[in-house]
Structure 1
Amino acid sequence: MRRLFWFFTLLVLVLLAPRPAAAHATLVESDPAPNAVLAEAPAVARLRFSEPLEPSYSRVVLTSAESGPIATAPSRVDPADPYVLLLELPPLAEGVYSLQWRTLSTADGHTMTGMVPFVIGDPAAANAPLVLPPAPPDPLAAPPLSDVAARWLTLLGLTLALGGLCFRLLVWQPTTLDASGAALFERVARRIEIGGGLLALLGASGALLLASATAGGDALTFALRSRVGLLLALRIALIGLLALVLISRDRRRAGVGLVVGSAALLTLSLLSHSAVSQGRDLSGRLMTISAIGFDLAHLLATCAWIGGLAALLATLLAARRAATRRSGALTQLVAHFTGMATAAVIVLATTGTFAALRHLSAISELWTTTYGRALSVKLGLFGLLLAVGGFNRWWLHPRLARGPEAAGLRTLRRSVGFEIGLSVVLLATVGLLTASPPPETSVAQAEGLTQRTRAGNTYLVLQIVRNDTAGDIYALTAYGLPPGVEPEAVIRASMPAHSEEITELQLARVEPNRWGARGALLTMPGQWHLETILRARGMDDVRHTFIIDTSLAPSSTTPSAGAPLWAVLLTLALMLTALSQLPIARRWQGRFQSSALLMVALAFGAATVPYYLTRAAERTNPLSPTPEVLAAGKAIYERSCASCHGLSGRGDGPAAATLPGLPADFTIPHFATHTDAQVFEWIKNGKPGTAMPAFGDQLSEEEIWQVITYLRELYRQAQP
C-alpha cells in the first residue's frame, strides 16, 4: 500500500512539474518557400510542421489565383517523417499559386489552417527593381498659387464683363435716371465691363503659359498639339473677341457679348472636374454632357449675380450724383435685380449640390481634403452673401419703396459694396477649388487597384498592381503622419470565408511616407481583408482593413455614371423654376414653370418605373416558412452566419468586433426594405464594399433560400 501511495505521489508530481507547453502544429518551413518566385514548380511540395500530424485529417490542396482549386493526387503525410506533409504538383504555367493546408496535431489535437503562396515565372523578375505605381496626390496639398491666380483672374474678369451684360439685358432701365445720371452709369458700367474683359484676357493668357511650361514646351506648340492647349488658346481668342465687342458701341453689343462670353465660359467647363468622362456607353456620355452643361449654368449664374452687383453699384453711384432721383424707378430696378439674383441663387444651389454629390463620397472630405476645405469656405461665403441679399430684399427694398430716403440709398450702396468684396474672395476660393483634384475613395486604374481611406488623422492610399509572373506589387502611401517618425509598414492578408491563417507581407520604405513590396497575397478568387499597419516608437499604430474582392470582374478604367437620370431631370426642373423668376414677360415665365412641372413628372417616372420593373422581374423565395424549412435555415445560420450577425440577428456576434464595419442587423425596419432577391445575391456573391463574404461555393441555392426564410422569421419575431 505504501509503495502504491508513493507511486501515485510521484505520478502527480511528474504531471504537475513545469515543462514546455505543447504548441499547435504550425508551419515551420516549406518547399516552395512562402512568396517564392520559381522558374518551374517542384515535383513534390513539402511542408514541415512543429508537431506530428494525424494522417487522416491533415491535407494540403493546390489553388490558382486565377482559376481556383487545381486537381492533384491526394496529399499525404510522409511515412518516414510524421511532421511533413507532401503533395505531388503537376507542371504549372506562369501565375500565382498557393498551397492551402489544414492540419490536426496528434500531440494536442488542435486543428490549424494556413497557406503558402508562391509564383511560377521568371525568377529574375523577383529581383528586379521595385517600380511602384505613381504616387497619389496629397489630399491636403495646396495647388500652385500661380495656377489659382490665373483661374481667379479669368473667372473674375468674365464675371464682371458678363454680369454687366446680364444687368443691361434683364435689369437696366434708361428711364431710371435723368440724362446726366444715365450718361454717368454708361461710363462706369463700360469701364467695369471692359476692365473685366482685360482681366479675363490676362488670366487666360497666364493659364496657357503656365500649362505649357508645366508640360515642358512653348505655348504655341502646346496650343497646336494638345486638347488642353487648344481649348486654352480658344479661350484667349473668345475673350479677345469679347473685349472687342465690349469696346464697340453697337446697340447689339450686350446680346452678342453675352453669346461670345458664354462660349468662353464653356471652355472653362470643358476643362473642369465635370468634364471627366462618366463612361464610354451612351448613359455615361449623356451624364458627362449633363455635368458639363450644369457647370456652365453654374458659371453663368455666378456672372449674373456677382457681376450684376458691380453694375447695380454703378447705378446707385450714378443715382447719387444725378440731378434728380426717381425713387419709383429705382425701386423697380432693385426689384428686377432681385428677380435675377433669385434665379441665379436657385441655379447655383441646384448645380452646386449636383457637383458636390458627384465629387464627394463622404461628409468628412469637406474638412480632410483641400478640395473639401475650399468647398466649405465657398459654402460659408455663399451663405453670408445670401444673408446680405436677404437683408437687401426684405428690409432695404421695402424701405426704398416707401420714399426717396437718402439714408436708404446710402445703406443699399454700402451693402452692395460689401457683397462685392465678399464675392471677390468667393471667386478666389473657386479658383482654389477648380485647381484642386476632387477626392476619390476607390477607383480602378489601368495599372491596378487603388483604395483610399481616412484612419484617424492619417490619410491612407493602398495601390495594388496585379502581375501574374512575379507576384503583385503593393504600395502604401500615408499623409498626415507626425513629423519626424519613420514607421514600419506591414500588410496582413486573410480570407474570412475560408478561415485561412493570416499571411503577412513586410513593406520596405521606398520614399518618405511611402512603402512598397512585391508578394503573393491574393492567391485565390474571393473577398480578401488586407489590414495595413503603420507602427513606430512613440506613435499609436495606424490600422485599417481594406476589402479586396478578386472574384469580381475588373472594372472600367473610368468611373461609372455617378448620378441617376432622375437626379439630372430634377436638376433641370429646378433650373427652369429659376428661369421663371427672371424679370421677363409673363408668358415666358409661365412656359418655364410648365416645363419645370413636366421635368418633375419625368423625374418621378425615371425614379419609380425602373424600380417596379426590376422588382417585377426579380426572383422570389420559392419556400414557405414551414417548421422544416425554418429548422434547416436556423441550422445553417447558426453554423455560417451567427459568428458575425449574432444568434438573434442583431449584428452582435463574437466576430463582429474584428470586422472593419458593423454586420447587418436583421431585426431593424431597414432590413424589410431589401427584397429576397437582393439578400440572395449578397449571400451567394458577397456584398461589395463590406466584410460580407460570398457563400455561393458553400451553400446550395435551396440552402440560401432556407437561410433567407429564417432571417425573415427573425425579423418578424423582433417586431413589437
Structure 2
Amino acid sequence: METVLSLARGTAFASTAAFAGLCWGLALWREGLESGTRSRFTTIASIAASVGLVLDLLYLTARIGAVLGKPVLAVSSSDMLFIIFDTRFGRAQVAALGFLLVGFASLRPLHKPSLAASFSGLSLLVGLFSSHSAASGTIADLAINMIHVAVAALWFGGLSTLVVAMARQAAERPESKSRLLSGFSTVALPLILLVVATGVALAIENVGTWPGLVATEYGWLLTGKFACIGTVLICAAFIRQRLLPLLKTEGATQPLAMVLKIELAFAFLVTLLAGCLSQAIPSRHVEIVWPLSFRLDPVVAWGTVPGSNVLAIGGCIALLVGSIAAFELGRMGRWRWATLAAVAGLGIAGAVALPGLSVPAYPSTYSKVPVPYDAQAIAQGRDVFAANCVACHGLRGRGDGPLAKDLKPPPADLTAPHTRDHTMGDMYWWVSHGFPSSAMPGFAESLSELDRWRVVEYVMALSLGYEARVLGPEISAGQPWLHAIDFPTCRGVEPREKLKDRSDGRSKLVLIFRDGIRTQRLDQLTQHARAIEQAGGMIVAVMPSPSEEFPSPRESGNPCIVFDIDHRIAAAWNLYRRTMANPGFDDNDSPPAIIEFLIDRFGYVRARWRSDETERLASHSQLVDAFTQLQAEPEINKRGVHDH
C-alpha cells in the first residue's frame, strides 16, 4: 500500500510540474507557436493538471485512511475534516490541491497560462509542508528543499514543453527547432546542476551515512533518482555535442526526436522519484537492517584480512588496464568495445579488490542502540556479563575463564583494541546468535533484547577503559576520542540533567570520590567556582553517600553533587581509571582516593588526574586554563559511541 501511495504522489508531482512547464511555454512562446501547437499545448497541459488533481485527491483520501487505520471506502466526511483542519499534513495537501485547481481554471476558462503556471508552482511548494523532511528538518533544510523542487519543476516542465514544441513545429522549419533546442540547452544546464547540488545537500542531511543509502527505502529511491539524472545528463550531452550541429547543417530530426523522448522519459522518472522521496521517511530516522554479508571498511580489513593489500593493488591494476583499453578503443572510434572494456575493467577490479576492502557484516550491524551509553546500562551489562560470560571470557574479559583452555578457538580478549573494529550491532548479533566457527552460544532465548545490548555496552566500556591508558593531564587539542559515560547531574540544585547534555554549553570536571574520603578537594574547588564558571566550566562531584560534611550546592548547580548510593556511577567510571603508570592489567588494583575527568561540551573525556600519581590533581589555575582551551575549540562533529 505504501508503495502505491508513494507512486501516486510521485506521479501527481510530475504531472503538476509538467502542467506548470507547459503553461510557461504557452505564456512565453504564445505568439511564436502555430495554432495547432498552441491547441496541443493546452490539451496536454489540461490532461497533466487533471491527472495531478485526481491522484492528489486519491492520495489524500488513502493517506487519511492509513493514518486513522481505516479502509479508504470507510473514511467518512468527519474523518476528512479532522485531518484537513487539525493536521499540518491535511492543511498542506488541501492547499496544494486548491492552488492546482485554481491553476487549471486559469488555463481553461480564463486562458491565462502565466497565472496557471504560477498557481501550479505554488501547489508544488505548498505540498512540501506535508512531507516527512518538512516535519523533522530545520528551516534551512526546508528552504533548500523548496529551491530543489522549484528548479526541478522548471527543468522538467521546460523539457516537456520543448518536446511538445519540437514535435509540432512544421518540418520545413528546421531553423526554428534549432533555435528552440539551443535556447533550452543554455537554460537547462544551470538548472540541472542546481538540482544536483541541492539534491546532494538534501541527501547528506536526510541520509546521513552510507549504510542509510544502501539499506533503506529512502536511500534506494535517492540512488535511483541520481542514476536517472546521470542518464538525462548523458542524453543532454549527446544532443548538444552530436545532434545539435547535425540539425543546423543537415536538418536531421529523427535521431533527435528519439533521444529527446528518452531524455523526457528519464526526466519523468527523476520527477516521479522526487515526489516519492518527499513522502518517504528519511534514512536518518529509519532502523537499518543491513542486507549484505559484508561492509566496506578498508582500515579494519587491511589489519585483519590476510593479503588484503595485494587484493587492493590487484583491483587497482585491473581498473587501470580497463581504463587504458577503453581510452584507446574510444580514440579509434570503437565505442561499443570501449564501453565493454570499461565495464569489464570495473567489474574485475571490484571482484578482486572487494575482499580486501570489506569485513563481515550482519543484519544488526548498523542497528540503533536502544540503551544509552550511561552508568546505569554499563552496570546492568556488567551484571549480565558476570552471570553469563565469565566462564569463558573470565572476570576481566581477557578470555581466560575456567573453560577457556578447552575451547578451540579460544574465547576473545574483550579488552584488546580490536573490539573497536566491530560495531555494537556486530557484537549484539554475536551475543544473540553466537560467534561463527566458535563455541560461543547465542543468548537470544535466555536474555532480553535490552540485556543483550547492555552487555555490549559494558564490553565496549571495558575495551575503551584499557585504551584510556594513554589519557593524561594534558589536552590533545581538537582530537577527542574517548566517550564520556553518562549519568544524571544538576540543573540548579536537582539532579535532572545528563552529564552529556549540550544545552548549557559548558565543559565539566567530574570528581569520583571513594568511601571515607574527606572533602578538602571539593572545598578547594568550591572557593574558585566563580572563576571556573567564567571559563565555561562546571564541577560535578560524585559522592558515595550523603553526609553533613558536603557543602550545599549553589543555585547555579556549581558545584553539582551527585550521591552515588549504589556505587554504579563510580564502578562505571572506574573502567576509565587506567593510566600508563597504573595500567591495572590484573584488575586487582584499588581505585585512587580521588580521580578526576575533564569532559568537553561535546561529551568527550579530554584529560584525567589521579590523586595517587606524581602529577597529582590539577590546581584551580590549571583547570581554568583547561576549560578556557576547551571552550575555544570549534564545533566537533565526530561519531558517537553508538555510531559507525
TM-score (norm 1): 0.45
CA RMSD of aligned residues (A): 5.1
Counterparts of residues 214-225 of structure 1 (less than 5 Å): 214-216=66-68, 218-225=79-86
After superposition, the C-alpha distances for 1:20-63 in whole angstroms (9 at most, x for unaligned) are xxxxxxxxxxxxxxxxxxxxxxxxxxxxxxxxxxxxxxxxxxxx
**Structure-2 residue corresponding to 1:685:** 599
The partner residue of 1:342 within 185, 189, 194 is 189
Instruction: Confirm or deny: 8 A CA contact 1:472 1:518 kept in the other structure.
Output: no
Partner of 1:136: none
CA distance in 1, matches of 2:122, 2:266: 26
Answer yes or no: is the 8 Å Cα contact 1:473–1:519 preserved in 2: no
- Name 2:449's counterpart in structure 1: 515
- Cα distance in 2 for partners of 1:196, 1:310 equals 11
Distance 1:300 1:554, change over 3 A: same
1:179-328 → structure 2 map (5 Å cutoff): 182-216=34-68, 218-250=79-111, 253-277=112-136, 288-319=138-169, 322=170, 325-328=172-175
Q: Unaligned stretches of 5+ in structure 1? A: 1-142, 279-287, 444-452, 492-504, 532-544, 558-616, 620-637, 645-653, 656-681, 710-720
1:244/1:687 CA distance change after superposition, 3 Å: same
Measure how far apart 1:329 and its partner are. Answer: 2.9
Deviation at 1:186, TM superposition (A): 1.1
1:567-586 residue pairs with structure 2 within 5 A?
Answer: none
Alignment of 1:649-688 (within 5 A): 684-685=598-599
Higher mean displacement: 697-706 or 226-235: 697-706
Q: 1:464 corresponds to which residue?
A: 371
Equivalenced residues, count: 385
The amino acid of 1:640's aligned partner reads T
Q: CA deviation at 1:378?
A: 1.0
Separation of aligned partners in 2, 1:303 and 1:550? 48
2:268 aligned partner, one-letter code: V
Paired with 1:643 and 1:390, the residues of 2 have a C-alpha distance of 66
Distance in 2 between the 1:550 and 1:506 partners? 27
Q: Distance in 2 between matches of 1:519 and 1:340?
A: 54
Q: Residue 421 in 1 paired to residue 421 in 2?
A: no
Deviation sequence 1:193-213 (CA, Å, 0-9, x none): 111111111221122112211
Shift of 1:264: 0.9
CA shift at 1:161, angstroms?
A: 0.4
Give the 3 Å change call, closer, same or farther, for CA 463–329 of structure 1 in structure 2.
Answer: same
The structure-2 alpha-carbon separation of the partners of 1:523 and 1:360, relative to structure 1 and needing over 3 Å to count, comes to closer
Q: Which has the higher helix share?
A: 2
CA distance in 1, matches of 2:63, 2:610: 53
1:377 aligns with 2:224: yes
Name the residue aligned to 1:151: 9
Partner residue in 2 for 1:640:
579
Matches within 5 A, 1:401-440: 401-403=248-250, 405=251, 408-440=252-284
Larger of the two Rg values belongs to structure:
1
Give the distance between the partners of 2:175 and 2:432, measured in 1 at CA.
73
User: How far apart are the structure 2 equivalents of 1:472 and 1:508?
Assistant: 22
| CA shift for structure 1 position 168 | 3.6
Equivalent residues of 2:9, 2:59 under 8 A apart? yes
- State, as a whole percentage, how many aligned pairs show the same letter: 16
Q: Say whether the 8 Å CA contact 2:37–2:168 is kept in structure 1.
A: yes
CA displacement at 1:245 relative to structure 2:
1.6
Residue 166 (structure 1) aligned with residue 10 (structure 2)? no
Report how far residue 440 of structure 1 moved.
Answer: 2.5
Q: Is the 8 A contact 2:216 2:286 kept in 1?
A: no
Partner SS for 2:369: strand
Q: Deviations over 1:160-209 (max 9, x none)?
A: 10121233455x3643x6xxxx1221122112211111111122112211
TM-superposed CA distance for 1:386, in Å, is 0.6
Q: Secondary structure, in 3 states, of the residue corresponding to 2:114?
A: helix
The change in CA–CA distance for 1:432 and 1:479 in structure 2 (over 3 A counts) is farther
- Where does structure 2 lack aligned partners over 5 or more consecutive residues? 69-74, 288-296, 298-358, 382-422, 435-441, 465-480, 488-497, 504-533, 537-576, 587-595, 612-616, 630-644
8 A Cα contact 1:157 1:197, kept in partner:
yes
Distance 1:211 1:442 in 2: 20
8 Å CA contact 2:208, 2:284 repeated in 1: yes
**How far apart are residue 307 of structure 1 and its match?**
2.4
Q: Evaluate the alpha carbon distance shift between residue 310 and residue 688 of structure 1 in structure 2; reply closer, same or farther with a 3 A threshold.
A: same
How far 1:418 moved relative to its partner?
A: 0.7
Bigger strand share: 1
> How many Å separate the matches in 2 of 1:684 and 1:367?
38
Give the letter for the 1:457 counterpart: Y
From the superposition, tell whether residues 400 and 437 of structure 1 become closer, same or farther in structure 2 (CA, over 3 Å). Answer: same
Secondary structure in structure 1 of the residue aligned to 2:450: strand
TM-score in terms of structure 2 length: 0.50
Contact conserved, 1:242 with 1:260, CA < 8 A, in 2? yes
Q: Deviations over 1:378-403 (max 9, x none)?
A: 11110110110111122222222335
Q: Give the 3-state SS of the residue equivalent to 1:695 in structure 2.
A: strand
Q: What corresponds to 2:201 in structure 1?
A: 354
Give the letter aligned to residue 579 of structure 2: S
Inter-partner Cα distance in structure 2 for 1:390 and 1:372: 27
CA distance in structure 2 between the aligned counterparts of 1:303 and 1:473, rounded to whole angstroms: 54
| Alignment match, 1:57 | none
